[in-house]
Amino acid sequence: MTNTLHRYGNAASFYDDYVVFAIPSRGKNDKGSVPKLKKFLEMALPFKPVNLGDAIHGGALRPCRDMHPTSHWNRDMTPDFRAVIDGVDAPTTVAAVFDSRVSAEDFVKTVKEADLGLCVNISTSIDGAEQCCQVAGIPRHSIGYSLGFQGKTEKLPNTQVLMLTTMCGHGMIGTSMAKKMIDWVKEGRRTPEQATTYMARFCSCGVYNPARAKRILEDARHSTK
C-alpha cells in the first residue's frame, strides 16, 4: 500500500510517471538503514530523476518560511537532490521519481543488484511496473489496485485538476490551487514550469512528478486554443 496508489488517470497517462520507493520495516531492518536509504537515492542520480523524496523532510523542491509569497515566482526552479540525500537522518520512506520507463527500469535493475535489504515498491501503471520487474529479473511480489472514486462523482473536479492534486497522496495540494494554476497558465500569467514547481513544493514526501504536472498544464493550455 502506498500513498501514490490513487494517482488519477488511465494507464496510458502514466507513461511518464514512475515512482520507486525504498522502505525499511520497523523492528525488522530499520536499524542501520539510514546509509542504505542514502545509497538508494544516490544510485538514482545517474538515471536523471525528476524528483527525490524523503517522507520526513520532503522532496527536491521545498517551501521556505523566510520568503515573501510573491517571491516564489522568481525562485530557482532547479530541484535540489543533494539536500534530500544529505537530509536523510532517520529511518524513513525515500523515493525516486522518473519520467521515463527506461530510466525506471535501469534504476530498478541497479537497486536489485545492490541488494540493500530494503523493501522496494514501484508505483505506476501495472504494465509499467511489470516491465521494470522483468528487466530487473525479479518476479512481482504483489499488486495494489485503486478502485477509483465512488458515489456522486459529478461533484468531483475535472480530470486535469484531479491528475494534479492526486499526485500528492497526502492531500497537500488543494483543488483550488490546482484550478488557479491551470487558469493562470491558460491566461499566460505563469509558465507551466512556474506553476508546477509552486505546487510541487507543497508535497510533503517528495513524490510529486513535475514532468507529468507540466505536461498536464501544457495540455490544458493548448486545449483552449
DSSP string, 85-148: HHH--SS--EEEEES-HHHHHHHHHHHHHHT-S-EEEEES-HHHHHHHHHHHT-----------
94: which strand partners?
22, 54
Helix, strand counts (H, E) of the chain: 8, 5
Residue 43 pLDDT exceeds 70: yes
Joined together, the cell numbers standing for residue 193 give: 514550469
DSSP 47: G
- Reported pTM: 0.92
- The whole-number average pLDDT for the span 67-93 is 87
> Domain spans of the chain?
11-222
Give the tens place of pLDDT for each residue, 139-173: 888 888 888 888 998 999 999 999 999 999 888 99
Contact 2, 169 (CB under 8 A): yes
- The whole-number average pLDDT for the span 115-123 is 94
- The whole-number average pLDDT for the span 3-30 is 92
Provide the CA 71 distance to its chain's centre, in angstroms.
24
Which residue, among 11, 4, 15, has the nearest Cα to 215 in the 3D structure?
15
Contact 218, 30 (CB under 8 A): no
Task: Output the pLDDT for position 223.
Answer: 78
224: confidence class by pLDDT, cuts 50, 70, 90: low
180: confidence class by pLDDT, cuts 50, 70, 90: very high
- The whole-number average pLDDT for the span 13-42 is 95
φ, ψ (nearest 5 deg) of residue 215: -65, -40
What is the sign, positive or negative, of the torsion defined by CA atoms of 197, 45, 80, 7?
Answer: positive
Which residue, among 19, 41, 58, 16, has the nearest Cα to 144 in the 3D structure?
19
CA atoms within 13 A on the CB side of 56: 14
Average pLDDT, the chain: 92
Residue 1 pLDDT exceeds 70: no
Contact 195, 208 (CB under 8 A): no
Give the tens place of pLDDT for each residue, 200-222: 999 989 999 999 999 999 999 88
Residue 67 pLDDT exceeds 80: no
Task: Output the pLDDT for position 148.
Answer: 83
Task: Output the pLDDT for position 63.
Answer: 83
